[in-house]
Amino acid sequence: MQQYYKGIPVYGRSVVLSADSDGNVHALTANSTQIDNVDIKSEATQEDVDVSVKQYFDNEDAIIEKISEDRLSIYSLDLDEEPRLIYNISVVTEEGAFDVLIDAKTAEIVESYDAVRYVQKEFECKGQEGTQKFFAESNENV
């Protein structure tokens, strides 16, 4: 289950339950976190985002996904900083495709990931307790 703050998904934060076919919970895994006092009003404009992305990638021809409310998330993975509102958008350059996290107030680039190297996989494992489904993520070189 995705973690939300005031209706906005919290990037990279979730709770996973493992249950049998009768609905009995066997395991709980969570990387959720307490989120308080995040201003959820975006201020960065599309022009601000375009300028920031083009400077970051040093590429005037970058194809930049349009910002919108459905691209908003709360970023809380940097433990040294307070959670903040971000846009999670796609950018394509001559070098490849990237998932880019942009501060929705300042248009500062928070993180960028090579979209080709970011993998999500769902798989099943069979064991003594039966079959369990798992979901794995990796942003390592694959």
84 touches 74 (CB < 8 A): yes
What would the two tokens of residue 19 be? 């249950």
125 touches 132 (CB < 8 A): yes
pLDDT tens-place values along the chain, 142 residues long: 999 999 999 999 998 889 999 989 889 899 999 999 999 999 999 999 999 999 999 999 989 989 888 899 999 998 889 999 999 999 999 888 999 999 999 999 999 988 876 556 676 777 777 777 776 666 554 4
Q: What is the reported pTM?
A: 0.74
pLDDT at 116: 73
135 closest CA partner among 54, 16, 13, 19: 16
